[in-house]
């Protein structure tokens, strides 16, 4: 029966090909959506896992860019037991980079500048996230004034290399180092000295954006305990660990997942309708054939099985094509995104099986119709 069912798909080649195109596009779309979602989740997780320490920001600020904390807080935090480093940072958005707005560069193109105190960062493990990620040149030094460390991604986009000069919000800097973390968020930054950042965003001496804190013991319990103690210093601040960031972004991504799930459900309904229409048309055209099969002794179950097998084959073929085109599209899309969409073997298997399932679901009603035909009437069909 398998061969018979498979062969029937080629009886009307044009219709089968059109259905396959539609259904595989639907399944490729599913792969695209889910790979985007999981790619982003992956990238965000990778970013937070790089944060060894605690970021102290003003309460309610979603990001250091929108935060203000007292400059003297760093000294207070250093006094807390177990704290090994407390480095003030100033963050702002780059309005103009080399005479153009970064926002004109496409998706995810916003660029931030981060002001660091090189002396304070010395106490951080490996010189902090950016210090550890230097690929070319060097990180900031205490005697630097107009020095800038740029991400590899931005260096490529703006065609810069170590030794070149660049203008950030109208102020000129010399690129002394290139870093690369691989994170879509961290690689959108320009690292300059704290004094220069203060100058760029005109922040007074009493404030900084945040304070980066590390503990001598990097274990989760030690980090969380220190964060609790820091948060107790002032009511206007909060101390966020990588675990807190992860949880917050997890909630945001949860909403994104819900959106993608709704899209996938819509896509599944569309797929079922495509199979339903294709198989209904096929059953309508083959009434006489089903009449013959019933006349020569096929039971209702046998006829249902045949139609369901045909629709399952249609779904499986569309699943295979959809997986291939979806994976290729996701890879191509990765070239235009700051992160790589994640296509896993599990996603491919699930999409393929989903295709088969869509095929079977869409084939149920046509199969029932075929099985219910009266053989005498069906055979008389012209």
Partner 1 sequence: MGAQIPMEKQTSSPNPRDIREASGEDRALLSARGVEKVYKKGPAEVRSLRGVDLDVRKGELAFIVGPSGSGKSTLLGILGALDRPTSGKVWLEGRDLFDRSDRELAMLRRSKFGFVFQAFNLIPTLTALENVLCPLIPGGTAREAAQDAARLLSTLGLGERMKHKPFELSGGEQQRVALARALIGKPEIVFADEPTGELDSQKGGEIIGMIRAMNRDIGVTVLIVTHAVQHILPGDRVLKLKDGRFAEDAPTPGGAPAGGKDAATKGGA
Enumerate binding residues for partner 1 (CB under 8 A).
1, 4, 7-8, 10-11, 288-289, 291-302, 305, 374-376, 379
Q: How far is the CB of 18 from partner 1 (least distance, A)?
A: 19
**Sequence-distant (≥ 6) Cβ neighbours of residue 266 within 8 angstroms:** none
Closest CB to partner 1 among residues 8, 58: 8
Residue 307 near residue 363, CB atoms below 8 Å = yes
Closest CB to partner 1 among residues 117, 289: 289
Q: Which tokens go with 350?
A: 């699930």
Q: How far is the CB of 297 from partner 1 (least distance, A)?
A: 2
Q: Which tokens go with 253?
A: 């991504």
E strand residue ranges, the chain: 54-58, 69-70, 83-93, 112-116, 134-137, 147-151, 165-168, 171-179, 189-193, 207-208, 210-215, 237-241
Closest CB to partner 1 among residues 5, 23: 5
Q: How far is the CB of 303 from partner 1 (least distance, A)?
A: 9
Handedness of CA 126, 132, 134, 140 (dihedral sign): negative
Q: How far is the CB of 284 from partner 1 (least distance, A)?
A: 16
Closest CB to partner 1 among residues 2, 62: 2
Residue 168 near residue 148, CB atoms below 8 Å = yes
Q: Give me Rg for the CA atoms of the chain.
A: 30
Closest CB to partner 1 among residues 196, 287: 287
Q: How far is the CB of 319 from partner 1 (least distance, A)?
A: 23
Residue 341 near residue 328, CB atoms below 8 Å = no
Q: How far is the CB of 4 from partner 1 (least distance, A)?
A: 6
Q: How far is the CB of 21 from partner 1 (least distance, A)?
A: 22
Q: How far is the CB of 292 from partner 1 (least distance, A)?
A: 5
CA distance 312 to 203: 65
Residue 92 near residue 66, CB atoms below 8 Å = no
CA distance 197 to 202: 8
Closest CB to partner 1 among residues 15, 105: 15
Residue 103 near residue 110, CB atoms below 8 Å = yes
Closest CB to partner 1 among residues 7, 218: 7
Which residue in the block uniquely carries the two structure tokens 């319990």?
Answer: 221
Closest CB to partner 1 among residues 124, 309: 309
**Sequence-distant (≥ 6) Cβ neighbours of residue 52 within 8 angstroms:** 124, 125, 129, 214, 218, 242
């Amino acid at each position: 029966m398998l061969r018979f069912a498979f062969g029937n798909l080629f009886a009307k080649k044009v219709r089968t090909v059109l259905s396959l195109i539609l259904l595989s596009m639907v399944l490729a779309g599913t792969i695209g959506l889910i790979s985007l979602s999981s790619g982003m989740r992956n990238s965000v997780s990778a970013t937070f896992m790089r944060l060894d320490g605690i970021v102290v920001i003003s309460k309610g600020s979603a990001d250091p860019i929108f935060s203000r904390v007292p400059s003297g807080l760093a000294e207070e935090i250093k006094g807390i037991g177990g704290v090994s480093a407390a480095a003030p940072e100033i963050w702002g958005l780059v309005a103009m980079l080399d005479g153009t707005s970064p926002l004109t560069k496409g998706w995810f193109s916003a660029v931030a500048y981060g002001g660091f105190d090189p002396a304070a960062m010395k106490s951080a493990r490996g010189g902090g996230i950016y210090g550890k990620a230097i690929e070319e040149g060097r990180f900031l030094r205490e005697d630097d004034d107009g020095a800038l460390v740029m991400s590899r991604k931005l260096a490529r986009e703006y065609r810069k290399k170590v030794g070149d000069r660049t203008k950030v919000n109208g102020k000129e800097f010399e690129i002394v180092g290139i870093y690369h973390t691989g994170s879509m968020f961290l690689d959108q930054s320009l690292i300059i000295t704290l004094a220069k950042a203060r100058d760029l965003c005109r922040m007074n001496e009493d404030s900084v954006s945040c304070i980066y804190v590390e503990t001598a013991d990097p274990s989760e319990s030690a980090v969380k305990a220190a964060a609790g103690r820091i948060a107790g210093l002032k009511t206007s601040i909060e101390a966020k660990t990588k675990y807190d960031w992860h949880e917050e972004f997890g909630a945001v991504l949860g909403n994104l997942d819900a959106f993608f799930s709704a899209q996938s459900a819509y896509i599944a309904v569309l797929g079922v309708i495509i199979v339903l229409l294709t198989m209904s048309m096929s059953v309508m055209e083959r009434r006489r054939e089903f009449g013959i099969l019933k006349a020569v002794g096929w039971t209702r179950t046998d006829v249902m099985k045949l139609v369901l097998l045909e629709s399952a084959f249609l779904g499986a073929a569309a699943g295979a094509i959809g997986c291939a085109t979806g994976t290729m599209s996701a890879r191509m899309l990765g070239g235009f995104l700051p992160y790589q969409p994640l296509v896993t073997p599990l996603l491919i298997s699930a999409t393929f099986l989903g295709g088969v399932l869509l095929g079977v679901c869409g084939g149920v009603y046509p199969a029932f119709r075929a099985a219910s035909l009266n053989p005498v009437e069906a055979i008389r069909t012209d």
